[in-house]
Structure 1
């Protein structure tokens, strides 16, 4: 069904920005090392840049794949969804769909009967997972996911707000969108939190880029004023990294507390170790600021 003519929707824009920021992060550090080494004629820095690039490039490529892969296709046959990396894909006909759920953060299709695809099996296996203390699945959907009767569409929800995804459903299955206007008013109102997150993502990415430029130019022949500015941008970058690691460690400790209460010892140890590693990164960043 993925090749069937119909309405095709990529990942929503608000879901793409964090992935773009991640790609900038993973490519920025080796770029700074390589550029700094090239401008300063420092072979050791060039070697370090090559090593860091080899380590981080796979992560950037993975995020690029995560940007490209998800797609939602609405056609005469039904709905085809190719989910994020690792989740697989699923096709359902219009006859299989019972209703369209539009609760904010819980958007998706509720099926009349269990779907036996690998997609719904993987979705069920991941339904109870929590990251940084927060569940990755809306509580409203847990029962339907456990019964393999739910297809999530939250990654494409912005296209409902924009209107084109609503039009696609209305063209092929008007019975699912009969009460859409009322639902859209209640569930799909613009979320101020999404805008704040976008501002933070763009702001921190901008600081990171400035820090990368500062590092690259720090050893180059610059005037004292520009050299001082470059070094301050680099310190500002490490300060942001230290603050970010502190926030992540705090969130991980919340996850540890949750898993200890639930007596899930393995997950508690995992998040504790992750927190210790992140705390170490934060302390190293803080040391660079204070140096």
Structure 2
């Protein structure tokens, strides 16, 4: 059983996670995670591993399962989000495992750091977001940098995992540099350390000051998008209701908008405007720059006349 124990507090662990640990003969995990479930593992065989021994944990789990024992391999947060699910499947497949094997696998989901940290600071993930790890122990830095740059350009709210450690101190500076290419200096940032644990600490700052904050391996950094704001100590990313509804007039739809239908600047409305602008002389390059989209995408969109299925879907919405 690959068990996500959530942020670390027993109150935020799912009942299935508690039951899985209770059912197990062997509990395997990083030493810090073992401490977080100390009250649940009395009398069990415990295998403690260090931070860099993920594959060893998976191998130990498989060996114990092959010996007929029921194993709980624990991860903080969710086992499938920067957790032990991936490495374990890699070890299993390398060992020739198939779903018909006597060793059966169950993944027990848990709240990841981005969920836990977001809950503590407000509602920063209400619109599109992504998670990026700054750890370059297994991922080349150019790959990480391209993802950071793309996410910053696309205006995602971003949760940075593994932002800094005793040895990796420059990665957060480089991330800040990449984000400042596309985001305003005063973009809200929340830094949450040890969410729901004894040494929990929350700091609100801005993008231009982010790298100067106290950040470590137990921190998660939440960078807002262009609409995110902080008010009364609460970080909020609007979902977009104000684009369609007049919130000061009882939520009535704005002129040109209809409840239950795409925005006037949604796909179909945007296509109409794009074609009109192009017909009036705007070049593909001008339109690409205006909408911050690739020129070849604009060209292909203008060349595509198959909009009838989209209109049909719109009428059914």
TM-score by length of 2: 0.27
Whose strand proportion is higher, 1 or 2?
2
Task: Find the structure with the greater CA-based Rg.
Answer: 2
Whose helix proportion is higher, 1 or 2?
1
Q: Which has the higher contact order (CA 8 A, sep 6+)?
A: 1
TM-score by length of 1: 0.29
